[in-house]
Amino acid sequence: MLRLQVRAQLGEFALDAALEAPASGLLVVVGESGSGKTTLLRLLAGLLAPDAGRIELRGRVLADTATGAWLPPRERRAALVPQDYALFPHLDARDNVAFGPRARGMRGAAAHAVAMQALERLGVADLAARRPRELSGGQQQRVALARALATSPELLLLDEPLAALDPRTRLGVRAGLRAALAGLPCLTVFVTHSPADALALGDTIAVMEGGRVTQVGTRDDLLHRPRTRWVADLLGTNLLEVRGAAHDDGGLLRLAIDGGDVFAADDAGAGTPAFALVDPREIVVARTAPGGSARNVFRGAVLELLPEPPSGERVRVALATRPPLVAELTRGAVEQLALAPGDEVYAAFKATGVRVLR
């Protein structure tokens, strides 16, 4: 278990954060630039000392200002992968990955063996002899991850690992990264400003606003019960896991999901979609079956009405459709429809309102 409760003052910026997470799995920390995400990583890595508070991982105290306990970075069993991957340009992939074990006293042949195991685990063992300039962005990322994992960390820290990639490359690399991180024995803390990355990757998602962790939970927790206006704006979408995909006669992409099919406008992307996102504001709620051009129409009962914080001018309507959906309506629309829990309604949205994540 990771337990953190710290305060740190950096100039005019103040971080006052509390957070708990399992000892393994993927924790995504999402927030705007300047919200404190990188500061949190530096505290975990031991590159920054808190002014007050305590950090504990798997029963080991990394920092505690009350007792003066402090573990320096090299003793924390934490590995940090920065945005630019920081690979040594004069070393090939194998020697880049072997650097960590060698720095810990492992001899050359043994360090190279560990490096090759890590590269194989990340699916890039065939690139062992290439230098960073000969690798694509996605390949560099995997080598950087292999270098981090070669030190057998208990804590893997990823600082905006997709930020430097162009949008098309980002889609493919994100899918590969999700597979690479699955099943790791350590806790991975993945920092991003992208809600799409957070929703596609996170087992647990922590939201940071203004130096504070304002909400921690699963995708469903955040999607259906955002605790702040910013969380609702950032993550206010329906995330649907895709089981399969095929084009229909009209050129739309038919996505197989639990409970039925969803139609999306084909974005011509490569690879099998992993998730479909539907903004709650794209969903029309009606008492009778809607006409028009909407290809996606679902029927179900209203589960609950959730006024959005802090103003309450809009209302999130949770629906027991298949798949379960959340729509966002104005308060006036809710009153006009006279919606109440238990009412049977229709929810509809266009194929163009579906975003596909790969």
277: β partners: 239, 355
Q: Which domain-ending residue is among 178, 210, 235?
A: 235
Domain that holds residue 291: 238-357
What whole-number distance in Å separates Cα of residue 14 and Cα of residue 111? Answer: 41
- Bridge-based pairing state of the strands 78-81 and 155-159: parallel
User: Both 311 and 328 in a single domain?
Assistant: yes
User: Both 38 and 135 in a single domain?
Assistant: yes
What whole-number distance in Å separates Cα of residue 128 and Cα of residue 120? Answer: 9
User: Both 180 and 325 in a single domain?
Assistant: no
Q: Which domain-ending residue is among 166, 201, 235?
A: 235
Residue of 157, 162, 166, 192 whose CA lies nearest to 33: 192
Q: What is the CATH number of the domain that holds 279?
A: 2.40.50.100
What whole-number distance in Å separates Cα of residue 177 and Cα of residue 35? Answer: 24
User: Both 144 and 265 in a single domain?
Assistant: no
- CB of 78 closer than 8 Å to CB of 157: yes
- CB of 16 closer than 8 Å to CB of 7: yes
3-state secondary structure of 67: coil
Rounded to 5 degrees, φ, ψ at 118 are -70, -40
User: Both 149 and 279 in a single domain?
Assistant: no
- CB of 247 closer than 8 Å to CB of 72: no
User: Both 166 and 59 in a single domain?
Assistant: yes
- CB of 223 closer than 8 Å to CB of 239: yes
Q: Which residue carries 């999901």 as its tokens?
A: 257
pTM over 0.85: no
pLDDT of residue 310: 45
User: Both 299 and 245 in a single domain?
Assistant: yes
User: Both 215 and 247 in a single domain?
Assistant: no
User: Both 165 and 292 in a single domain?
Assistant: no
Burial grade of 67 (CB within 10 A; 0-12, 13-18, 19 or more):
exposed
What DSSP element (H or E) covers 111?
Answer: helix 108-121
User: Both 168 and 41 in a single domain?
Assistant: yes
User: Both 181 and 288 in a single domain?
Assistant: no
User: Both 243 and 193 in a single domain?
Assistant: no
98-116 confidence digits (pLDDT tens): 998 998 889 989 999 999 9
Domain count within the chain: 2
Return averaged pLDDT per consecutive 10 residues of the chain, 358 residues in all.
95 94 92 93 96 95 97 92 91 95 90 94 93 91 91 92 72 75 88 84 89 90 74 74 81 85 75 79 92 88 76 80 90 92 94 84
What whole-number distance in Å separates Cα of residue 110 and Cα of residue 136? Answer: 28
Residue type, 325: L
Structure tokens at 171: 């889609």
Q: What is the CATH number of the domain that holds 212?
A: 3.40.50.300
133-173 confidence digits (pLDDT tens): 999 888 898 899 899 999 989 999 999 888 777 666 666 67
pLDDT of residue 337: 94
Q: Which domain-ending residue is among 209, 235, 261?
A: 235
pLDDT of residue 89: 95
